């Protein structure tokens, strides 16, 4: 067993043990009779964290119970994901994630969990990605200038992402190919720390979801070089898309959803799914997502499941072809 896998299993086992220490909920009454925890598998401050904290308020109202957010970053999201996979399947510990953590990462490295260890509850939002640089960056002020600089820098341009298998990493790989350039790619334990280092000048560029970076763009600490998608994003209408610049396109629409541990009782899953649907229609949640540059996007569990299965299939083929590998 390699060191990384052993560390992930040990960390997940300890965290799961702490969650299991309390008495079983079903012995105490109907679900939910105690706070529900949303596990964010990344450090605070990034897209997943911000969406989870906003969603938790609406989700709590829909459930009639407190919902708390617990950040468990590390291992590209594997620490937090494994915590939920190994926790009691009682619906009280849920994972906030997209396909990168549960469908792509297990195909890249030997995680102590698989997609089959989770049951999708539904989507909660979707967002476009944006390529970012510091506001006071002088070497390049747009994507075409970045392309020229990256080609001349011979691998010295540093590009940050939020972890292996995340859409941010996949977008950087696609951008390298489109620009015919080489980056020095730096992975972080979430988008929050990556953006902190970008603002501080430790890295040159980063991809992030608009939801996680809008506050920094508005504050004037970061600038948007380009957005990903066929048309400009309504949240940043003045920022061109990668395809508009004649450089090809990048698949960059991202999403987040909620997952429970496999084996969670159907009646609990039904209550959670119904509350999720109600929460994604909550006016405050919808408005906050819009302000963050995202769309409140609820779905049935089956739709989220189909998306995850499709991402897993693509990841398996990409790993087989050598296009996707752990750094």
The sign of the CA dihedral 67, 68, 69, 70 is negative
Report the distance separating Cα 169 and Cα 185, nearest Å. Answer: 8
Q: Summarize the confidence of residues 224-252 as an average pLDDT.
A: 85
Q: pLDDT tens-digit profile of 200-213? A: 999 999 999 898 89
Question: Which of the two residues, 228 and 288, has the higher pLDDT score?
Answer: 288
Secondary structure element (H or E) that encloses residue 201, with its range:
none
Structure confidence at residue 15 (pLDDT): 47
What is the model's pTM? 0.79
Q: Summarize the confidence of residues 242-256 as an average pLDDT.
A: 82
Structure confidence at residue 315 (pLDDT): 86
Question: Which of the two residues, 225 and 16, has the higher pLDDT score?
Answer: 225
Structure confidence at residue 296 as a pLDDT band (50, 70, 90): very high
Residue given tokens 């990256």 in the structure block: 150
Q: Summarize the confidence of residues 222-232 as an average pLDDT.
A: 89
Same fold, 3-127+254-321 and 129-245: yes
**CB burial of residue 244 (10 Å; 0-12, 13-18, 19+):** middle
Q: Summarize the confidence of residues 214-223 as an average pLDDT.
A: 95
Question: Can you give the residue ranges of every domain in the chain?
Answer: 3-127+254-321, 129-245
Q: What is the CA radius of gyration of the chain?
A: 19
Q: pLDDT tens-digit profile of 36-58? A: 999 999 999 888 999 999 999 99
Structure confidence at residue 173 as a pLDDT band (50, 70, 90): confident
pLDDT above 50 (res 21): no
Structure confidence at residue 28 (pLDDT): 45
CATH of 129-245, one of 3.20.20.70, 3.40.47.10, 3.40.190.10, 3.40.50.300: 3.40.190.10
pLDDT above 50 (res 25): no
Structure confidence at residue 327 (pLDDT): 58
CATH of 3-127+254-321, one of 3.40.50.2300, 3.40.190.150, 3.40.50.720, 1.10.10.10: 3.40.190.150
Structure confidence at residue 29 (pLDDT): 61
pLDDT above 60 (res 280): yes
């Amino acid at each position: 067993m390699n060191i990384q896998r052993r560390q992930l299993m040990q960390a997940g086992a300890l965290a799961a043990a702490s969650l299991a220490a309390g008495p079983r909920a079903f012995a105490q009454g109907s679900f939910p009779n105690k706070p529900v925890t949303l596990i964010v598998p990344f450090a605070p401050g990034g897209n997943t964290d911000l969406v989870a904290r906003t969603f938790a308020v609406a989700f709590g109202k829909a459930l009639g119970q407190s919902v708390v957010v617990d950040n468990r970053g590390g291992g590209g999201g594997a620490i937090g994901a494994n915590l939920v996979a190994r926790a009691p399947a009682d619906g009280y510990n849920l994972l906030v994630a997209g396909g990168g953590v549960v469908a792509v990462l297990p195909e890249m490295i030997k995680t102590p969990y698989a997609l089959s260890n989770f049951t999708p509850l539904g989507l909660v939002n979707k967002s476009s990605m944006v390529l970012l640089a510091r506001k006071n960056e002088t070497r390049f002020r747009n994507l075409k200038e970045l392309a020229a600089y990256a080609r001349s820098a011979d691998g010295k341009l540093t590009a940050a992402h939020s972890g292996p298998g995340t859409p941010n990493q996949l977008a950087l790989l696609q951008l390298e190919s489109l620009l015919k350039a080489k980056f020095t790619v730096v992975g972080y334990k979430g988008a929050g720390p990556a953006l902190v280092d970008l603002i501080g000048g430790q890295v040159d560029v980063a991809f992030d979801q608009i939801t996680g970076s809008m506050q920094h763009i508005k504050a004037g600490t970061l600038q948007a070089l380009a957005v990903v998608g066929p048309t400009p994003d309504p949240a940043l209408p003045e920022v061109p898309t990668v395809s508009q610049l004649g450089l090809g396109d990048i698949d960059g629409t991202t999403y987040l959803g909620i997952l429970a541990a496999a084996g969670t009782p159907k009646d609990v899953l039904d209550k959670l799914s119904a509350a999720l649907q109600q929460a994604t229609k909550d006016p405050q949640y919808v408005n906050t997502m819009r302000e963050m540059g995202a769309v409140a996007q609820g779905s049935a569990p089956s739709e989220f499941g189909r998306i995850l299965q499709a991402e897993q299939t693509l990841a398996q083929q990409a790993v087989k072809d050598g296009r996707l590998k752990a750094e």
